């Protein structure tokens, strides 16, 4: 189910970006939390826009009803996590100019080293940035 939420965030980012989206997976605020961020280089959200504004029931853009932001928020909260809109003034450790919309999912979990079953060093992160094909 979390995979569906991340896929939805990536789909939204691809729809509104100029050229790039970035997905970052790393440890959260503690070693027992996993953080997934999806950001784009598009126009971003209007000033002052909150998660509550984005997750109003019954709202759909262009008549499309799908696995929306409110469903992601409910899913993540039911798993003991948090779903956040990252404000533009927040520290940006993402590569390039990711000045568009930025969302963060924080869930209980750990990043394990490949094949060893041990946790990687604190600074270990995986960030992928790729150009998005023009429509």
- Cα separation, 15 vs 10, in Å, equals 9
Q: What is the pLDDT along the chain (135 residues), one digit of tens a residue?
A: 778 889 999 998 999 899 989 898 888 888 899 999 999 999 888 887 778 777 765 455 544 444 588 888 888 999 999 999 887 777 666 656 677 889 999 999 988 865 444 444 444 444 555 566 655
pLDDT at 60: 52
- Cα separation, 54 vs 98, in Å, equals 20
Q: What is the pTM of this model?
A: 0.72
pLDDT at 106: 94
pLDDT at 61: 53
Residue 33, strand partner residues: 108
Q: Are 19 and 41 in contact (CB under 8 A)?
A: yes
- Cα separation, 91 vs 18, in Å, equals 21
Q: For residue 40, give the nearest of 131, 101, 104 by alpha carbon.
A: 101
Domains of the chain with bracketed CATH: 2-112 (3.30.565.10)
Calculated CA dihedral for residues 100, 101, 102, 103, nearest 10 degrees: -170
């Amino acid at each position: 189910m979390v995979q569906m939420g991340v896929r939805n965030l990536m789909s939204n980012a691809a729809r509104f970006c100029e050229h790039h989206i970035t997905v970052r997976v790393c440890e959260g605020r503690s070693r027992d939390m996993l953080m997934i961020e999806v950001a784009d280089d598009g126009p971003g959200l209007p000033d002052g826009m909150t998660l509550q504004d984005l997750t109003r029931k019954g709202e759909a853009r262009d008549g499309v009803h799908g696995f929306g932001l409110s469903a992601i928020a409910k899913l993540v909260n039911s798993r003991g996590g948090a779903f956040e809109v990252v404000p533009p003034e927040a520290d940006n450790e993402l590569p390039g100019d990711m000045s568009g919309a930025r969302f963060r999912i924080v869930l209980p979990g750990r990043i394990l080293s490949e094949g060893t079953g041990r946790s990687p060093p604190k600074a270990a992160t995986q960030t992928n940035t790729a150009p998005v094909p023009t429509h």
